[in-house]
Amino acid sequence: MTKAIPLEDNFDWWWYRSKKNFLRYILNKHLSKKNLNILEIGPGKGNNLGLLKAYGNVSVLEVEKEFSSYLLNKNVLNKDEIFYNFDQIINKKSFDLIVLLDVLEHVEDTNKFLYEINKLIKETGIVVFSVPAYNSLWSSHDEDLHHVKRYNWRTIKSEVGQYFSIIDKYGMNFILLPIRYLQLKFTNPTTLNDTSKTLNSILYLIAFLEAMLLKIKINPKFGLSLYFVTKNKQT
């Protein structure tokens, strides 16, 4: 993976809260039991860890010392629950759930990266991904975050499909997609995290509405982010 990205401690930011709501919906849909063995890759400062701990024992793989030190210093995890590379994870095929949100777009060699993940997930386990969508939305914000690519469903299938079967697909922030496109095309774009308290609340409300629409089976499968659930292709 590439350089570390700056992450805020403020988990009330609409983007963090929206991602957690989306992940909660996916986990409730696909997991029928608790006490699972869980790995989050690229947890940053741990926004999702409280949610994941409700489903079992959580470990993380975090290559950036800044973030792993933060998790230790804040007593979010202990040192035995933090890995710094794939080689440290000795017990293969040991995880029921692997989560990597907004990670794959930072990886240069996705083939090797996905191969390593494939070795860790149990035959009955699932892997949950999210990635930023569409090259047409590429901006300086991607460069600031050290992205190397954006994705659509075709490129996802091409890369991920070598090792995993995609069993579920979602689009997050589909309501905001045309707004973001027009913003990039016709204005001097700012990032969606440059928001006032009021706008932050409005953006979260929109994302919350989308999460409610999922519950009544409205899922257009496009948006600012693409989420997908996979199983090991050997199953």
In the chain the domains, ranked by start, together with CATH numbers, are 14-232 (3.40.50.150)
How does pLDDT run across 107-155, given as a tens digit for each residue? 999 999 999 999 999 999 999 999 999 988 898 888 888 899 999 999 9
Q: Write down the pLDDT at residue 139.
A: 85
Rounded percentage of the chain residues whose pLDDT exceeds 70: 91
Pairing of strands 164-172, 225-232: antiparallel
Exposure pattern of 23-33 as b/e (b: 16+ CB <10 Å)?
A: bebbbeeeeee
Mean pLDDT calculated for residue range 15-29? 92
Q: Which two tokens stand for residue 70?
A: 């933060």
User: Edge to edge, what strands does the sheet with 164-172 contain?
Assistant: 82-83, 56-61, 36-41, 95-101, 121-132, 225-232, 164-172
Residue 169, H or E segment? strand 164-172
Q: Identify the weakest region by mean pLDDT among 47-61, 69-83, 185-199, 221-235.
A: 185-199
What separation, in Å, do the N-terminal and C-terminal C-alpha atoms of the chain show?
Answer: 28
Residues in CB range of 55: below 8 A, 6 or more apart: 27, 31, 34, 36, 38, 97
Mean pLDDT calculated for residue range 99-103? 97
Q: How many whole angstroms separate alpha carbon 31 and alpha carbon 96?
A: 10
